Amino acid sequence: MIQIYHNPRCGKSRNCLALIKETEKEFEIINYLTNIPTFNELKSLIQKLNFEPLALVRQKEKIWLENFKNKPMTNDEIIQAMVTNPILIERPIVIKGNKAIIGRDLDNVTDFL
């Protein structure tokens, strides 16, 4: 089953969800702002993305700029910052099996699905 970490207020996330719906494949929507991933769930997701945790952070968010930018942090501390402040998580994230991608580019999502 396909999963999408979705923020309904984000245009890119809404577009990605619409594309997934068009495929008529089974999918699950995870509104990560209300259903906040645990530390271990986020760590697993980062492994599926094959990213360093910092690559998943929305580094232009006010919370990041005011509290974390230029602060030396371990990967675990970065993950915890995203758990504590889920708005920092880049979106949308599309998961299929043991792989995941950031779904901002719809062509990449089409190829991934």
Residues identified as active-site: 10
- Give the Cα separation of 32 and 89 in Å (integer): 9
- Give the Cα separation of 112 and 95 in Å (integer): 9
The values of phi and psi at residue 30, to 5°, are -115, 110
- Give the Cα separation of 33 and 25 in Å (integer): 24
**Judging by beta carbons within 10 Å of its beta carbon (0-12, 13-18, 19+), is residue 2 exposed, middle or buried?**
middle
